[in-house]
A and B are shown apart, each in its own frame.
Chain A
C-alpha cells in the first residue's frame, strides 16, 4: 500500500471500485427510487449528549430475513467487513486525519504543553509529599539523626514550630503548583473544546459539500440513514478521539514515563516486578477481548433480529389487529427477545468481568509493591525507608492507571480511525462528471447576431465556445433527440435498449409501460443523473455531455416521483423552483397546480412549516406542491414523472386546466401511471423491457389494439 499522500491515484481507483461494487441498485430494473428506509437509525435520534456516553451500536439494520440468498451472502460479507470495525488501512487514515487536526497546530501545541506541564506538576506534587512525611516521621520517631537531617533539630530537641514552618513551606509550593496546574487545565480544555467543535463542523461541512456533488447513483445505492451516520456517529468517533484521547495519551505517556523513571530511582526491583504484572494485565485484556468479540457479534445479530421483528410488526400493526394476531406476535417477539437476552447476558458477563480482572491484577500488583516494600524497609534492602515507600506507593498506583488509560485510548483510536476511514470514503467518491463547457446565457438579437444581455426581453441561449476561443449562441428551444441509447445500471442488465426518440420543441411526448420498462430511466439520462455509455442525447443539437451540468438542468423543470419536500415553510418549498420568485408569483404557481385551495385552508397558509418527511401533507398534496414548484421554475423543457400518481381522479380533473397552462409552449416529456394524463400527447411511446414496442398518437395506438390498448383498458398490472 502506498505510504504517500492519501490521494494517490491508486487509492482513488481502489475506492472507486469499492463504491462501484456497493452501487448495485436494489431493485433490478428501476433503481430510481431509493428504498424508503423503514429502519430507524439510532444514530439519527441519538442526542449528542448521550452519544458521548453510550457505546454506539449499529442497530435497526434490515433484518436478514428480507434478503434473497445472494443478497444475504453479500450482506454477510459486508457485515463481516463491518463488524470487525477496524480500519482497513489504519496508517493511511491516521495520516489523513492528522492533516485535518493539523489545521489547529498552534492550539494543539499549546494543549500539549499544558498537558505536559500539568502532568509534571502532578508528579512533582506527589514528590513534595515525601519531605512532608519525612519530617512527620522524624517528629514521631524522634532521634537526632533523622530530625537534623530534615532540619528540625533545634537546641538539642525537636522544634515543633520549625517543623511546622518547614511543612508549611512545602505545602505552599504544592498549593502554587496545583493552582497553576488547574489554571493550565482550564486553559487547555477550553482550547480542546474549540478545536473539537470546529473539527466536527469542518468534517460535516466537507462531507455535505462533497455529497452535493456526487452522482445520483451514489444516493440510489446508499440509504439515507447510512449516509447520515457518517455525519453523526462517524464524526463523533473522530471528535471523541480528538477531544478525549489526545490529551489523555499525552498525559498518560508523560505521567507513565515520569512515574516509571521515578519508581526506578526509588526501587528498581519492585518496579520490575510490577511491570511484569502489567504485561499480564495486557495479555488478559487481549484474551478476554478475543473471547468477547464473537459473543458481542452474536448479540448484535440477535438484537438486529429483534429490531427487525419490531419494525415489521409495528409497521404492520393494523394487519395484526385485524387478524387478532396479537397473542401470536407477542409470543414470537417474546422468543426473539429472550434469545437476545440470553446471548446478551453471556456477552455482558464476560465483558463486565474484564474490569474486575484488571483491577484485581492492579490490586495484586499494588499489594506486591506494599509487601515487598515493607520487607525492604524492615530489612533495609535497597536503602528503603518509610517515607520512600509511601512515596513509591503513591507512584505505583498511578503507574497502572497510565498503562490502563493508554490501553483505553487504543480502542478509541481504532474505532475513530474506522470512522475516519468511512468519512474519507465519502470524500473520495468522485464527483459526477461535468466536463461540458456549453453554458446558458441570456441574449438579445443584435446587429452582429446574438449578444448577451440582462434586458427583460433577453431569451435563453446556449453559449457554445469554439476551439479558437470564439463563442456562438443558439437559442434554447428544447429540441431533444435521443439517439440509439443503450443503458444499464448494472453491467449486463440493459434497462434501455437502442432507444431513439425525437422530441421536437414545444411538443409533448409520453412514455408508458409497465413497471421496470425503463420509463424513469429516461429522465435520469436526460438530466444526466446517470451517464450514458452508448448512444447520445442532444438538446438543440448539442450533446448533453458538452453542456455544463448546472446549465443543462437549468434548462429543464422536473416534477419527479420523489417529491423532495424540505423542512421549511410551504412558501419556501415552492420557491425552490426559482429562488428570486416573489410571493405573488408563488401564489400564482400554486394556483396553476391547484394547490392554492388546500394551502389557504392550512392554519398558517403559505407559512405552514413542513416536517422533513412531509408527514403533515397527504401524498397528493405533496405532489401538487411539486407541480407548483415546476410551474414557478418555468423552464423550456418540462419533465413530468408520475406527477399526479397520488392525486385522486377528481382532483386530477381539476388540475387538468392548470397542467395545460403549465405545459403550453414547452417541450414536455411525460411518464404516467394513469393513462388519462397522456392521452393528448403528440406522441406516445410504449416501452417494454427497455425497448419501444409501440409508438403513435393515443388514437392510433388504441386503434392498433395491442399493448397500449391493454394497458389503457387496465388489462395489465401497472404498479
Chain B
C-alpha cells in the first residue's frame, strides 16, 4: 500500500494546472466526449438544412402552375424534410446520452482524482489549504466545473459550428449579401468585448460585496445569542441595511451594462435583416429586368434572412460560454490549486522492507516551524531519547508545542532541521504504512466515522479478529458502554461518530490505537473528557504486560494523568524545560510546580 505512486508524483510536479490537464479526467469517456459535439454537429447540419429545404420548397411552390413545376419533386422534398426530423430525434437522443455519460463521467473522475489527491496530502498541505475550504472545493467547485464541462461540450462546440456552417451557407447563396457579416460580426464582437471589459471589474466588486453580505449575515446568525443578549438588534439591522444596499447598488451597476446585450444583438439582427432585404430585393429586381438567369431567388432570400439570426445568435452563445468560463474560472483555479499542491511529505524514499522493531525514539537537534516564512521556530533544538517500553508524560501550557513534538514521530510533519529516529532508524527511511503501523497516535480531535463501532476500531488493524477488537475496547475501558448499546459492537456511529459522548469517543479512539498493538503509543490529551477513575484504569492497563514493550507517550493537561510516568517532560515555548520524575520536578521545576499547585489547590484546601 504505497501511498504515493511515483508516476503520479511526476505529474504533480507541474506547478500550474492548465485547462488542458483536465482532459485527463475525460479518461474512459474520451470517445463519447468527442462524439457529443459530433452529434451536436449533425444536429446543427440538419438544423441548417431545414431552412434550405424550406427555401427550396418555397421556390418549388412558386413555380406552381408553370410547366416547370414538378409535383414529384415537391413531394420528395417534403419527405426529405420529415425524414430529417426523425433523424434529429435519433441524433438528439444520442447527443443527450453521450453528453450525459461524458459529463457525469468527467465529473466523477474529477471528484475521484481530487479526493485521492486530498487523501495524499500531508498535514502541512492540509493546514495550509484548510479543511473547510477543501470540502467546498470537493463539493461545490467540482460540480461547477462539471457543469461548465457539459455546457462546453454541447454549447461551445455548437456555437462555432452554427456560426461557420450558417456563414458558409450564406456565402453559397450570395457572397454579395454576405458582406453584411463583415460589419455585423466585428461590430458585435467589439461592442460585447467592450461591455464585458467594463462589466468585469464591476462584477468583481459585486462579488466582493456579496461575500461581505454573506459574512455579515452568517456572523449575525451564528452570534444571534450575543446579539440578543446585548440587545443589539437595531444595530445589526443598520449594519445589514448597509451591506444589503451595497449589494443592491453594485448589482444594479454591474447588471445595467449586461442587460443591454440582448436588445443590442436583436437590434443588430433586425438591422441586418432590413439591409439584406433591401440589397436582396435590388439584386432580384435588377437580375429580373436584365433577364439574367441563375441569380438570387426569392426563396434564397428568405433562407438568407434565417441565416442572419443564426449567425448572430450563435455568436452570442459563444460569447456566453466565455462568460460562464470566467465565472467558473475561480472554481477551476481553486481546484487546480489542490492538484498543483505537492505533498510536502512523501515516503517514496522509504524502504518497504523496513519495519519498526522497537519503541526507541530519538530526537537529534530537532527544530521545527510550520512554514518557512514563520519567523520563529515552534520547537527549538530538541534533543531527547526515549527508551523502548518507557512511559513518558509531557506537560506544558497551550501552545508550548507538546503536540508538535510528538507529531514528528509518526512523520505527520517533518522536522525543519535535525532528525527523528524510531527504532534506531530515521523516520524518513520507513514507508508511511510501516512507520504508522509501529507508531500509533491518538489525536486531540476525536475523529470517528460513519459505520459500526467495530468497524471504527478496526481502522487500527483491518485484520483484527473480533476477540482482538473486544480486547482493545476492554483495555480502553470502552467495552462496558459499548455493551450497553442495543447493538453492541454493531452500533452505527453516525456521521463523524456524533452519536456517542465526548468521553466515549475518546475511549473508542484509544481502542482504535490499541488494536494496532503499536511499538510506540502516543496519547495526545486523549483522556481530557474521560473521568479520572477511568483515566486511571486506562493508565494502569498501560502498565500491564501487554504494553511492556510499547513506548507510551502521554500528553496531558491534568498532572494526575502523568504523575506516575517513568519520566515527565516539561515543555515551555518549544523547548524542553525539564525532564524528571514527578517528585523531582515538583521539587526543582518552577513551571511544573506552578501547574501542580494550581491543579491541586482545591484538593489540598480540605
17 contacts between A and B (CB under 8 A): A47-B207, A50-B327, A53-B324, A139-B284, A197-B252, A232-B214, A308-B495, A311-B135, A323-B459, A337-B108, A363-B50, A364-B85, A386-B61, A389-B58, A565-B223, A579-B235, A702-B602
Point out the residue from B118, B134, B558 that lies within 8 Å of A714, measured CB to CB.
Answer: B558
B96 touches A353 (CB 8 A): yes
Please measure, in the bound complex, the distance between the C-alpha atom of A103 and the C-alpha atom of B460, giving whole angstroms. Answer: 64
A139 touches B327 (CB 8 A): no
Point out the residue from B119, B221, B288 that lies within 8 Å of A228, measured CB to CB.
Answer: B221
Point out the residue from A65, A209, A363 that lies within 8 Å of B88, measured CB to CB.
Answer: A363
Interface hits, A308-339 → B, CB 8 Å: 308-330, 333-334, 337-338
Q: Besides the contacts A231-B217, A319-B459, A714-B560, what 16 more A-B pairs have beta carbons closer than 8 Å? A: A50-B327, A139-B288, A141-B62, A201-B245, A213-B233, A322-B441, A323-B459, A324-B1, A324-B433, A348-B99, A360-B85, A393-B54, A527-B228, A563-B226, A564-B225, A648-B399
Q: Per-residue CB proximity of B291-320 to A under 8 Å, as 1/0? A: 000000110011000000000000000000
B327 touches A47 (CB 8 A): yes
* Contact A201:B237 (CB < 8 A) given known A53-B324, A168-B278, A324-B1: no
User: Which of chain B's residues has its CB closest to A558's CB?
Assistant: B229
Please measure, in the bound complex, the distance between the C-alpha atom of A165 and the C-alpha atom of B109, giving whole angstroms. Answer: 64
* Contact A322:B412 (CB < 8 A) given known A163-B285, A307-B139, A310-B135: yes
**CB of B540 within 8 A of chain A?**
no
Chain B residues whose CB sits within 8 angstroms of the CB of A355 once the complex forms: 92, 96
B277 touches A167 (CB 8 A): yes
Closest CB-CB distance, B275 to chain A, in whole Å? 9
**CB of B82 within 8 A of chain A?**
yes
| One of B162-170, B189-197, B255-263, B362-370 contacting the partner | B255-263
**CB of A151 within 8 A of chain B?**
no
B3 touches A676 (CB 8 A): no
Point out the residue from B107, B210, B263 that lies within 8 Å of A182, measured CB to CB.
Answer: B263
B244 touches A201 (CB 8 A): yes
User: Which of chain B's residues has its CB closest to A179's CB?
Assistant: B267
Interface hits, B501-560 → A, CB 8 Å: 501-503, 512, 529-535, 557-558, 560
Point out the residue from A167, A337, A550 that lies within 8 Å of B231, measured CB to CB.
Answer: A550
SS of B interface (majority): helix
* Contact A197:B251 (CB < 8 A) given known A550-B231, A565-B223, A676-B602: yes
Closest CB-CB distance, B350 to chain A, in whole Å? 12
A312 touches B215 (CB 8 A): no
Chain A residues whose CB sits within 8 angstroms of the CB of B245 once the complex forms: 201
| One of B16-24, B443-451, B468-476 contacting the partner | B443-451
Point out the residue from A309, A378, A714 that lies within 8 Å of B61, measured CB to CB.
Answer: A378
Q: Per-residue CB proximity of A354-371 to B under 8 Å, as 1/0? A: 011101100110110011
User: Which of chain A's residues has its CB closest to B410's CB?
Assistant: A322
**CB of A718 within 8 A of chain B?**
yes
Point out the residue from A66, A232, A370, A716 that lies within 8 Å of B57, measured CB to CB.
Answer: A370
**CB of B147 within 8 A of chain A?**
yes
Closest CB-CB distance, B304 to chain A, in whole Å? 13
Classify chain B: how many residues form its interface, as a range. 35 or more
* Contact A42:B441 (CB < 8 A) given known A318-B447, A390-B58, A676-B602: no
Please measure, in the bound complex, the distance between the C-alpha atom of A703 and the C-alpha atom of B605, giving whole angstroms. Answer: 11
B123 touches A318 (CB 8 A): yes
Closest CB-CB distance, A144 to chain B, in whole Å? 15
Closest CB-CB distance, A159 to chain B, in whole Å? 9
Closest CB-CB distance, B533 to chain A, in whole Å? 5
Interface hits, B320-357 → A, CB 8 Å: 324, 327-328, 330
Please measure, in the bound complex, the distance between the C-alpha atom of A340 and the C-alpha atom of B131, giving whole angstroms. Answer: 23
Point out the residue from B223, B324, B603 that lies within 8 Å of A566, measured CB to CB.
Answer: B223
Chain B residues whose CB sits within 8 angstroms of the CB of A323 once the complex forms: 436, 459-460, 512
**CB of A499 within 8 A of chain B?**
no
**CB of B105 within 8 A of chain A?**
yes
Closest CB-CB distance, A649 to chain B, in whole Å? 6
**CB of A445 within 8 A of chain B?**
no
Chain A residues whose CB sits within 8 angstroms of the CB of B105 once the complex forms: 341, 345
**CB of A719 within 8 A of chain B?**
yes
**CB of B126 within 8 A of chain A?**
yes
**CB of A204 within 8 A of chain B?**
yes
**CB of A224 within 8 A of chain B?**
yes
B274 touches A178 (CB 8 A): yes
B140 touches A45 (CB 8 A): yes
Chain A residues whose CB sits within 8 angstroms of the CB of B185 once the complex forms: none
B88 touches A359 (CB 8 A): yes
**CB of A577 within 8 A of chain B?**
yes
Closest CB-CB distance, B501 to chain A, in whole Å? 6
Classify chain A: how many residues form its interface, as a range. 35 or more
Q: Per-residue CB proximity of B116-158 to A under 8 Å, as 1/0? A: 1011111100100001101110111001100100000000000
Chain B residues whose CB sits within 8 angstroms of the CB of A228 once the complex forms: 214, 217-218, 221
Please measure, in the bound complex, the distance between the C-alpha atom of A126 and the C-alpha atom of B529, giving whole angstroms. Answer: 79
User: Which of chain B's residues has its CB closest to A647's CB?
Assistant: B398
Please measure, in the bound complex, the distance between the C-alpha atom of A139 and the C-alpha atom of B295, giving whole angstroms. Answer: 13
* Contact A650:B595 (CB < 8 A) given known A136-B298, A612-B222: yes
B88 touches A137 (CB 8 A): no
SS of A interface (majority): helix
Closest CB-CB distance, A17 to chain B, in whole Å? 23
Chain A residues whose CB sits within 8 angstroms of the CB of B118 once the complex forms: 314, 317
**CB of B100 within 8 A of chain A?**
yes
B50 touches A205 (CB 8 A): no
User: Which of chain B's residues has its CB closest to A714's CB?
Assistant: B532
Interface hits, A547-564 → B, CB 8 Å: 549-550, 553-554, 556-558, 560, 562-564
Please measure, in the bound complex, the distance between the C-alpha atom of A364 and the C-alpha atom of B240, giving whole angstroms. Answer: 55
Q: Per-residue CB proximity of B591-606 to A under 8 Å, as 1/0? A: 0001100110111011
* Contact A370:B221 (CB < 8 A) given known A65-B450, A66-B494: no
* Contact A352:B437 (CB < 8 A) given known A65-B495, A649-B598: no
**CB of A465 within 8 A of chain B?**
no
**CB of B171 within 8 A of chain A?**
no
**CB of A68 within 8 A of chain B?**
yes
B598 touches A653 (CB 8 A): yes
* Contact A66:B496 (CB < 8 A) given known A139-B285, A565-B223: yes
User: Which of chain B's residues has its CB closest to A187's CB?
Assistant: B263
Please measure, in the bound complex, the distance between the C-alpha atom of A535 and the C-alpha atom of B373, giving whole angstroms. Answer: 60
Closest CB-CB distance, A27 to chain B, in whole Å? 10
Interface hits, A284-317 → B, CB 8 Å: 306-317
**Sorted from nearest, which 10 A-B pairs have the closest CB atoms?**
A356-B92, A66-B495, A564-B223, A352-B96, A564-B226, A719-B502, A348-B100, A319-B447, A714-B532, A648-B398
Counting chain B CB atoms within 10 Å of each CB, the highest count among A164, A562, A566 belongs to A566
Please measure, in the bound complex, the distance between the C-alpha atom of A622 and the C-alpha atom of B78, giving whole angstroms. Answer: 77
Point out the residue from A197, A212, A373, A556 that lies within 8 Å of B227, measured CB to CB.
Answer: A212
* Contact A136:B284 (CB < 8 A) given known A38-B496, A185-B266, A319-B447: yes
Chain B residues whose CB sits within 8 angstroms of the CB of A40 once the complex forms: 132, 135-136, 139-140
Chain B residues whose CB sits within 8 angstroms of the CB of A117 once the complex forms: none
Please measure, in the bound complex, the distance between the C-alpha atom of A648 and the C-alpha atom of B57, giving whole angstroms. Answer: 88
Please measure, in the bound complex, the distance between the C-alpha atom of A185 and the C-alpha atom of B58, giving whole angstroms. Answer: 33
**CB of A696 within 8 A of chain B?**
no
Chain A residues whose CB sits within 8 angstroms of the CB of B259 once the complex forms: 189-190, 192-193
Chain A residues whose CB sits within 8 angstroms of the CB of B260 once the complex forms: 186, 189
Closest CB-CB distance, B560 to chain A, in whole Å? 7
A374 touches B605 (CB 8 A): no
Point out the residue from B140, B248, B284 that lies within 8 Å of A140, measured CB to CB.
Answer: B284
**CB of B31 within 8 A of chain A?**
no
Closest CB-CB distance, A702 to chain B, in whole Å? 5
Closest CB-CB distance, A386 to chain B, in whole Å? 5
Interface hits, A184-213 → B, CB 8 Å: 185-186, 189-190, 192-194, 197-198, 200-201, 204-205, 208-209, 211-213
**CB of B289 within 8 A of chain A?**
yes
Chain A residues whose CB sits within 8 angstroms of the CB of B557 once the complex forms: 648-649
B436 touches A324 (CB 8 A): yes
B96 touches A330 (CB 8 A): no
